[in-house]
Amino acid sequence: MTDRPAQHSAPPSVRRVLTLLVAACIVPIVLVLAVLIINFYRQEEARLVENTLNHARHVSAAADREVRSTQLALQVLASSYLLHERDLRTFHARISAVVDKLHVDSILLLDLDGRILLSTLRPYGSALPQLTDRPLLQRTRSTAMPGVSGIFTGPLVGQPIVTIAVPVIENGKVVMSLNATVTPATLQPLLFEQKFPESWRAGIVDQQFRIITRSHDMARLAGQQLPAELRQPLSRERESAFDSYTLEGKRSLFVYHRSPQTGWTAILGIPHDELTAPLQRSLFWLITLSVIALALGSTCALWLARRVTRSIQALIAPALAVGQAVPLPLPRLYFSEARELGQALQIAARDLQRARADSSESEQRLALAARAAHLGIWTRDLRQQQIWVSQAWRELFGFNAEQPITLDDLLARVHPADRQHVQRTLDSTLYGATRYDMEFRIELASGCQRWISSHGSVEFDRHQRPTLVRGVSLDITSRKQAELDLQQKQKEVTHLARVAMLGELSGALAHELNQPLTAILSNAQAAQRFLGQPAPDLAEVQEILNDIASEDQRAGAIIARLRSLFGKHDAQRQRISAQSLIDSVQHLISNDLIHQRLTLRTELCKETLTLEADPVQLQQVLLNLLMNACDAQSQQIEHSNLIVLRSARVGQTLQLSISDSGGGIPAEALEQIFTPFYTTKARGMGLGLSICRSIVDAHGGRLWAENNSHGGATFHLRLPLAEAAQP
């Protein structure tokens, strides 16, 4: 009797398992689809309500902008001197000229009793009615603030209008009201600009829920009050949605938003059949396609199960061999795709072996290059909050080889003055920044400082969330020190240029100082004579002493100006008016102009313009340009004795122009004159204009020159105004 092999129960086939799996998935999938469909419907409805509410907000915001712009224009007109002088005829002509530009239908002026003083709808002097109902006028008078009315029938046009009013204030009191009227037709484009579907109903109502304007049948309905079934839900909240019927009797979803500025409410009505029809179609197709997909999936899974199983099992051994990078011979396979997969596994095994060798070589090269360049390499895992750094990085920042590194450890090494900037830059990688470059100082345990240049790039996952930051850090202390040394030398050159300018002005300044000193000497001698008399006149002596003190203060002011201009100090920016800057320069150069028999004429902007700048450096620029103009005038045998200094506002900048009547500048030298050591003077150093341009560039401005058509040259200096420099 022969032994038979033990019988074991056969495992379930792929076909049986897939059949049971499909059957087990049908019921849960159907339930999930049902839940998804219900949620989909609710989400679609909420999305439509939110989108429509945004449209209502846009309409309300557009109406607010129209009201605000009209109020601003009226406030400008209300401040006109013509109203304060009661020149109403001229004021009527002025507002008639601008009424079309304001997108309003008319402008009128009321006194506090409601009498219409003038209107752009009537010629000046025409008889005008008096308002009987004037709540907006009373509100404007009591609050002294601009306001807007509801819709009412205008006494001049006999049709519905709204009024926008601003107070006319004199000596702190409201004396009149300047109003602009707008018809519903003028406001209707605010609705059409949103390009709503033709089936929607859009409108704006006032504080009493009277229709100001409407997208449909506006001419008939303007000024009418909404029915109670619409007014009641509108009065509950500032913005919401509710179901009701339109004025045409069609059931719709109404979405509204009330403006806190005007009290007007923007209302949008969407027909219910337009809301539900797309959702019903989506629901039908979603269910149909889900059933079809489930049926096809089950059929295909059962048909392919037996055929796929054999090929999958045959590829298990080659797949396991890939990890060891050892290709195995392929078994017999039933599908061309399975054969291709098997060949791909063999290729993958060979590529993996080659990639491991290349990766090892690349890592060695990278480590060698980093050590040669003294680069510190680091990686920051944003998900795990872990930081890996190379040994070179640890040496750069003064960490030992075993010490774990955290972000707080890094920030603790950063110089306190740079720590906030480094923290903000690192935080930016969490909010969408793709890379960063920064320079900062660190303080080592030995007490010395080191400048670091750090560069990083951010990696994102498939949801565009930052996951990893890689970068390098480099010691740039030597370069930074060289930059600081260069800045110091530039400061010294600028100071030497000011000292050289002092030499050129020394004769005129000596004369200016001689005048108060001579007056002090004369007054002191006179005081001695009075005091030598038997009965000196003490009142006269007191006046002499007052003159001495005044002349002494004058001499002190001259010396203070010289010390501020030629003292050696760091640039310190402050707010300074253009007028005071020009006045200070005129004081310094006035006597030099007199000695050379030249006249400086100023043509200055009437507006008060303020700069954020170093006044001493700007004085140096203006003095250099004015002295160059004096030299250009004196080199001509026959020349005008006039130099012109102009100031003007150009956008958000101040432009200063200095014009002379000299020989001009050769065309080829117009740009070279700003090059260091280039000069057209016999004894010039060639640094003045170069330093001037450097100072102007440091202030964010521009300096250039051009020849005048009538002879001579003009230097233009343009600097940003203080308000333009604010962040």
For residues 370 and 389, the answer to whether their CB atoms sit within 8 Å is no
- The answer, yes or no, to whether residue 47 has pLDDT greater than 70, is yes
- The answer, yes or no, to whether residue 418 has pLDDT greater than 60, is yes
Confidence of residue 278 (pLDDT cuts 50, 70, 90): low
Report d(CA 303, CA 584) in Å as an integer. Answer: 97
DSSP state of 710: T
> Closest by alpha carbon to 269, among 341, 330, 211?
211
DSSP 567-626: S------EEEEHHHHHHHHHHHHHHHHHHTT-EEEEE--SS--EEEE-HHHHHHHHHHHH
User: Which residues, 6 or more positions from 609, have their beta carbon under 8 angstroms from its beta carbon?
Assistant: 577, 578, 579, 647, 649, 654, 721
- Supply 643's token pair: 């130099």
Each residue's pLDDT tens digit, 480-503:
777 666 666 555 555 555 555 555
Give the residue, 574 or 285, on which the prediction is more confident: 574
For residues 350 and 358, the answer to whether their CB atoms sit within 8 Å is no
Q: What is the pLDDT of residue 5?
A: 43
| Highest mean predicted confidence (pLDDT) among 111-120, 582-591, 623-632 | 111-120
Each residue's pLDDT tens digit, 591-649:
677 777 888 898 998 888 999 888 877 887 888 888 888 888 776 655 568 899 999 99
Report d(CA 70, CA 77) in Å as an integer. Answer: 11
Confidence of residue 247 (pLDDT cuts 50, 70, 90): confident
| In 259-374, beta strands by DSSP E | 265-271
For residues 587 and 546, the answer to whether their CB atoms sit within 8 Å is no
Give the residue, 699 or 550, on which the prediction is more confident: 699
Give the residue, 534 or 508, on which the prediction is more confident: 534
- Supply 437's token pair: 């470059």
Each residue's pLDDT tens digit, 508-532:
455 455 556 665 665 676 677 777 7
Q: Which of 173-177, 192-196, 261-265 has the lowest mean pLDDT?
A: 192-196
Q: What is the pLDDT of residue 573?
A: 78
Q: What is the pLDDT of residue 680?
A: 67
Give the residue, 591 or 199, on which the prediction is more confident: 199
Q: What is the pLDDT of residue 617?
A: 79
Q: What is the pLDDT of residue 190?
A: 86
Report d(CA 630, CA 590) in Å as an integer. Answer: 12
- The answer, yes or no, to whether residue 238 has pLDDT greater than 80, is yes
Mean pLDDT of 80-94: 90
- The answer, yes or no, to whether residue 366 has pLDDT greater than 70, is no
- Supply 647's token pair: 């100031």
Each residue's pLDDT tens digit, 425-477:
888 888 878 888 888 888 887 778 888 888 888 888 888 888 888 888 877 77
Question: Angle formed by the axes of helices 477-532 and 578-595, to 10°?
Answer: 60
Q: What is the pLDDT of residue 511?
A: 47
- The answer, yes or no, to whether residue 409 has pLDDT greater than 70, is yes
Mean pLDDT of 389-400: 79
Q: What is the pLDDT of residue 372?
A: 54
Q: What is the pLDDT of residue 7?
A: 47
Q: What is the pLDDT of residue 448?
A: 80
Confidence of residue 4 (pLDDT cuts 50, 70, 90): very low
What is the CB-side half-sphere exposure of residue 56 using CA atoms within 13 A? 30
* Mean residue pLDDT across the chain: 78
Mean pLDDT of 226-237: 89
What domains can you pick out in the chain, each with its CATH number?
A: 104-274 (3.30.450.20), 316-360 (no CATH), 374-475 (3.30.450.20), 500-570 (1.20.120), 573-727 (3.30.565.10)
Report d(CA 137, CA 160) in Å as an integer. Answer: 18
DSSP 59-75: HHHHHHHHHHHHHHHHH
- Cut 0.85: pTM above it: no
Confidence of residue 186 (pLDDT cuts 50, 70, 90): confident
For residues 521 and 581, the answer to whether their CB atoms sit within 8 Å is no
Confidence of residue 166 (pLDDT cuts 50, 70, 90): very high
Q: What is the pLDDT of residue 359?
A: 54
Q: What is the pLDDT of residue 503?
A: 53
